[in-house]
Amino acid sequence: MGAIVPKGLYWYCLLLAFGLPARATAQFEVHVHHEFPGVCGGDITVLGSGFDQVVWSTGDEGPTLFAPPGMYGFTIYDNGAVVLEGEREIGSNGWDAQIQVLPLFDGIQLSGPVSVAHCGTAIFEAPCCTPDPAQTSFEVRQDGVLYTPQQCLGCSNIQCAYNLIMVSGLPYGHEYSWSINDQACAGVTQVGEVTAHSCANLELEMEVVDAIGGGNTGSITVLGAIPDPTEPLPIEAPVLGDFRLFDNASGEPVGELQTGGAASWEALPPGEYLLAFVPDQLCRTANRTITITDGAMIGERTSDPLDLRPNIADDHVVVPSSLGLAPVDLRIVDLHGRVVMVLGGVPPGRVPVGELAPGQYVLIADRGGDVFRARFIKR
């Protein structure tokens, strides 16, 4: 059978736990209700016996002080003698949601804890209103309309002390907001919002230079990212973000993380690489698989602009005669860096592009080591 703690010792230890000097003749507790913004105000109450007066730092007297958030001192008297002096704080705590937004392949994910400070955590401190879990839920709105996600863990019967939320598969191309619907206390409290852009058709304009003779002479250059304006809520230009290159076989990163609107990796051996681009704006990661072959094509990473006409073409583009009359080597690459056409030793003039699929391309003209480039659109 366990030992019984004497009642007087219990109160003495209780007061010491609050950092307050004890008196053998007084037995009391100090309780705090914290303000729930917009719902109810806070108070501090002295309960117990062995005292006959409480004076607060505000000048108020009585066992209970109703006051706005702040720190308040109190003095407890018994027959004119000071029994105890101390201070307690009234806080202002409503619903708090630490929701993280993650861009996944099948949509965005919302996850994190929601709680009300001091709710159900101590017998001496509590919010002035305690939410009822049966009347509390997590709600998501898509473009301002209440939305029911297919996967929503922890979204009902929310415990105010701690509740973990996880909502998955919210489609891109929409505005989202989320709130706590607390019918017992606070009503609807909005706790977050975000714009989830569409970028499924985001084009990465790249130039890939193959390795020569099996050496580490290949390179991958990202010249920019081009959004598709036909997508709902497309990512906005300029498109900036983080670029990371990986060896596709081993999964190991190649080089350093690069940030901004362009990136370049040099001295690459032949092989298959995975390029991952994470836009700064909320949008799913753009991944591209790139192959550097052994000497299949020799190119340049930098070039002079080329006045190519028309830049929106149906069946041909014209390489201008300003390049001279000497034959040039031409290649056309798509925005994934893939070479889709090679023409060697042709004079400036008409270049047929009617067989190309609709999209954006880069034409690169090599005239004895002088390289010129221009972008065009094939309708």
93-131 per-position pLDDT tens digit: 999 999 999 999 889 999 999 999 999 878 899 999 999
Residue carrying the six token digits 């993650």: 102
Domain with CATH 2.60.40.10 in the chain: 95-118+129-196, 203-292
132-158 per-position pLDDT tens digit: 999 999 999 999 999 998 889 999 999
42 in Cβ contact with 92 (< 8 Å): yes
Residue 4 has a pLDDT of 41
Residue 38 has a pLDDT of 92
DSSP one-letter code for 171 = P
The string of DSSP codes covering 6-70 is PHHHHHHHHHHHTT----TT-EEEEEEEEBBTTTB-EEEEEEEES-SEEEETTS-BSSEEEESSE
Residue 305 has a pLDDT of 66
SS3 category, 14 = helix
19 has pLDDT over 50:
no
Domain with CATH 2.60.40.1930 in the chain: 304-378
- Confidence class for position 205, pLDDT limits 50, 70, 90: confident
266-281 per-position pLDDT tens digit: 999 999 999 999 999 9
Residue 304 has a pLDDT of 57
Look at the pTM and tell me if it is higher than 0.75: no
**What architecture does CATH give domain 304-378?**
Sandwich (2.60)
Residue 25 has a pLDDT of 54
- The CATH class of 95-118+129-196 is mainly beta
Residue with the larger pLDDT of the pair 22 and 39:
39
23-45 per-position pLDDT tens digit: 445 688 999 999 999 999 999 99
Give the percent of the chain with pLDDT over 90.
Answer: 58
303-347 per-position pLDDT tens digit: 456 778 887 889 999 888 777 777 888 888 876 667 789 998 888
88 has pLDDT over 60:
yes
Q: What gap in Å lies between CA 188 and CA 12, rounded to an integer?
A: 43
**What architecture does CATH give domain 203-292?**
Sandwich (2.60)
Q: What gap in Å lies between CA 116 and CA 277, rounded to an integer?
A: 38
- Confidence class for position 300, pLDDT limits 50, 70, 90: very low
209-250 per-position pLDDT tens digit: 878 766 788 899 998 888 888 899 999 888 999 999 999 999
247-261 per-position pLDDT tens digit: 999 999 999 999 999
